[in-house]
Amino acid sequence: MSASGLPKTAAVLGPDGLQALIAALAARGMEVIGPVERDGAIVLDRIAGIADLPAGRTDRQEAGSYRLADRDDGALFGYAVGPQSWKRFLHRPVETLFRVRRIGQELAFEPPRETPPRTAFLGVRACELAAIAIQDRVLLGGAYVNTEYAARRAQTFLVAVNCGDPAATCFCTSHDTGPRAHSGYDVALTELLVDGRHEFLAEPGSDSGAALLAYLPTRPATAADWAAAAAVAARAAANMHRRMPSEGLKETLQAHPEHPRWEDVGQRCLACANCTMVCPTCFCTTIEDHSELDGLGAERVRRWDSCFAGDFSYVHGGAVRTQTRSRYRQWMTHKLAHWWDQYGTSGCVGCGRCIAWCPVGIDIAAEAAAFVESSKREEDAHGIA
């Protein structure tokens, strides 16, 4: 029994139950955001009901390529993660921090923040829950709290969906962040398509999640439902073939800042910054000040920045990282190595976005593997243990 006295037992709902779930969230004053098909991809946007979900659609993802395709089982969540992550709703791409007006000799500061609307995210994958937990740690966990993120995060209700059909770019099993959600959600759904039935196993993860489920048309979950859900997760894990090396990766990356592999990848990389923009854990921003023509008004804006941009490492006199190889090294060593020292976790959750959405298909998992492999060869050759 939970603190509220509600039983935290799983329930099973049909498509009408899912429709009722969306309606119930809306009735509680929440804006519901979920997956929708647009411009040849599955993106995240406002949804009014299950009719907005990409029914019977799936994705085929490879390094540098993403295509939608049909599937014949009518699944509502039969695809992996798309180009956008939930980062764009919590840690927004562009955010006005304050506006200021000069009135006579006085400066009047106007914080633009009202309380953000209550928002429900529907269809959050396990890797994305892990990414949100990482951003919570980075943006809320230290001495300097990102107040805009904090305000939005406090208003967020998370409906997870366990993955049944990972993309070829996925590798959450390497980081133990999926394909099944273990924590950090209010409700977790597993889509069950067995024997011609279309249902969802719904597990509450919080008191408010349990309260919501109690309100919906459901039936109790049986042992067969649990077995079907376990089979979905097992199939997803078995279909995931990409791997990020873990053994010795941090130490190897940190020990070889001048490894020739950096130049090699630097030759292939465009320094376009797409990887950092799509990564659900990348959090870097810059601050821009704008003023109005009349000299009476100004505003301060925060926007996503990237370690691939030259201006990112600009200090008086010039940029520190002028070469693409040093920018790629910064991104990869921070994400996969220094992040451990800084936050006690890897900065990668294995979502595969940076692989699919790199216009030239640079693959962070393959780069890491090649790096470990060639450093090992080098050490063997030099007799280093």
Considering only 47-55, 107-115, 267-275, 372-380, which stretch makes contact with ligand SF4 by CB under 6 A?
267-275
Q: Draw the binding track, 301-340, toward ligand SF4 (x: CB under 6 A; -: no contact).
A: -------x--------------------------x-----
Residue in this structure with the two tokens 């007006």, named with its chain if needed: 101
Report the partner that residue 279 touches, choosing among another protein, ligand SF4, none (CB closer than 5 to 8 A by kind).
Answer: ligand SF4
Structure tokens at 143: 């001495």
Report the partner that residue 228 touches, choosing among another protein, ligand SF4, none (CB closer than 5 to 8 A by kind).
Answer: none
How many residues line the site for another protein (CB under 8 A)? 47
Structure tokens at 45: 């946007």
Find the shortest distance in angstroms from Cβ 56 to ligand SF4. Answer: 26
Find the shortest distance in angstroms from Cβ 133 to ligand SF4. Answer: 12
Q: Draw the binding track, 93-112, toward another protein (x: CB under 8 A; -: no contact).
A: xx------------------
Q: What angle do CA 373, 269, 275 make, to 5 degrees?
A: 90
Rounded Cα–Cα distance for residues 300 and 66 (Å) = 36
Report the partner that residue 283 touches, choosing among ligand SF4, another protein, none (CB closer than 5 to 8 A by kind).
Answer: none
Q: Which is nearer to another protein, 40 or 196 (CB)?
A: 40
Find the shortest distance in angstroms from Cβ 354 to another protein. Answer: 11
Q: Which is nearer to another protein, 49 or 64 (CB)?
A: 64
Q: Which is nearer to ligand SF4, 206 or 252 (CB)?
A: 252
Find the shortest distance in angstroms from Cβ 173 to ligand SF4. Answer: 12
Q: Which is nearer to ligand SF4, 202 or 279 (CB)?
A: 279
Candidates 53, 188, 273, 368: give the one binding ligand SF4 (CB under 6 A): 273
Q: Give the per-residue SS3 of the chain.
A: CCCCCCCCCCEEECHHHHHHHHHHHHHCCCEEEEEEEECCEEEEEECCCHHHCCCCEEEEEECCEEEEEECCCCCCCCCCCCCCCCHHHHCCCEEEEEEEEEECCEEEEECCCCCCCCEEEEEECHHHHHHHHHHHHHHHCCCCCCHHHHHHHHCEEEEEECCCCCCCCCCHHHHCCCCCCCCCCCEEEEEEEECCEEEEEEEECCHHHHHHHHCCCCEECCHHHHHHHHHHHHHHHHCCCCCCCCCCHHHHHHHCCCCHHHHHHHHHCCCCCHHHHHCCCCCCEEEEEEECCCCCEEEEEEEECCCCCHHHHEECCEECCCCHHHHHHHHHHHHHHHHHHHHCCCCCCCCCHHHHCCCCCCCHHHHHHHHHHHHHHHHHHCCCC
> Is 270 a binder of ligand SF4 (CB under 6 A)?
yes
Find the shortest distance in angstroms from Cβ 155 to ligand SF4. Answer: 24
Q: In Å, how far are 14, 351, 369 from 68, measured between CA atoms?
A: 25, 17, 29
Report the partner that residue 83 touches, choosing among another protein, ligand SF4, none (CB closer than 5 to 8 A by kind).
Answer: another protein
Q: Draw the binding track, 342-361, toward ligand SF4 (x: CB under 6 A; -: no contact).
A: ------xxxxxxx---xxx-
> Is 284 a binder of another protein (CB under 8 A)?
no
> Is 360 a binder of another protein (CB under 8 A)?
yes
Q: Which residues of 259-291 are buried (b: 16+ CB within 10 A; e: fewer)?
A: bebbebbbeebebebbbbbbbbbbbebeeeeee
Find the shortest distance in angstroms from Cβ 336 to ligand SF4. Answer: 8
> Is 23 a binder of another protein (CB under 8 A)?
no
Candidates 26, 271, 366, 370: give the one binding another protein (CB under 8 A): 271
**44-73 binders of another protein (CB under 8 A):** 64-67
Rounded Cα–Cα distance for residues 367 and 377 (Å) = 15
Report the partner that residue 342 touches, choosing among another protein, ligand SF4, none (CB closer than 5 to 8 A by kind).
Answer: none
Residues within the interface to another protein (CB under 8 A)? 38-41, 43, 64-67, 83-84, 88, 93-94, 267-274, 277-278, 288-295, 298, 303-304, 306, 308-311, 324, 356-361
Residues within the interface to ligand SF4 (CB under 6 A)? 269-275, 278-281, 308, 335, 348-354, 358-360, 362, 364
